[in-house]
Amino acid sequence: MITVENNSKKFLDYQKVLGLEAESFESLKDLRSQIDLRIQMWESYRNIKCFAEEWRQTPLNFLDIEVVKQKTDSLMAVVKSCQKAMIPNQVLDQLKQRVYEYKDTMPVVEALKNSNLMDHHWTEINRIIGKILLINDDFLLQDLLDLEVSKKQEEIMEVSIQATQENLLEQEF
């Protein structure tokens, strides 16, 4: 590909020197852009696999939510670019699914790490999830993913918001 691009540049130079109308080699540019996009897609797929291995084994108490959000946002940008410019394919679908798995779980992680949660809030969260959560240093992100908490994201976040609001009211009085 690089050789072909270099040759196209030489041809453009020859055409200019000879005073001919310069060809644009649009199909070559399109091909380069498709190849670059596919490379980005594959690199992103490799990255999310590496990140996922690390994140899954991280205790929830030690998970850096901001780093996960930053990386998933970056990967999501690649997914969106690929969706706009490429025909659907299996790798892109898997990449998107993996990115969303973490992107959709982070708000729940934030909600569960809310220091304002009291026992009655935890009782409600356990009811929503359908299992008693014991979040300690042994509780991994994988444990949370296994519970498919992203499906209950809104309900869990509501409890967390309620806990924060109750705490603010208590501080006022």
Check residue 14 and give its pLDDT. Answer: 46
In whole angstroms, what is the distance from residue 69 CA to residue 75 CA?
Answer: 10
- Cβ proximity of 82 and 41 under 8 Å: yes
Is pTM, for the whole model, over 0.85?
no
pLDDT tens digits, 72-86: 999 999 999 999 998
Is the per-residue pLDDT at 24 higher than 60?
A: no
What's the count of helices (H) and strands (E) in the chain, helices before strands? 7, 0
- Cβ proximity of 105 and 144 under 8 Å: yes
Is the per-residue pLDDT at 48 higher than 50?
A: yes
* Span between the terminal Cα atoms of the chain, in Å: 70
Quote the mean pLDDT of the chain.
Answer: 88
In whole angstroms, what is the distance from residue 131 CA to residue 133 CA?
Answer: 6
Question: Which residue's structure tokens are 């780093």?
Answer: 67
Of all residues in the chain, the percent with pLDDT exceeding 90 is 73
* Confidence band for 36, pLDDT divided at 50, 70 and 90: confident
- What mean pLDDT comes out for the span 122-146? 95
Is the per-residue pLDDT at 1 higher than 60?
A: no
Span of 55-59, 67-71, 86-90, 98-102 with lowest mean pLDDT: 86-90
Is the per-residue pLDDT at 132 higher than 60?
A: yes
In whole angstroms, what is the distance from residue 96 CA to residue 32 CA?
Answer: 23
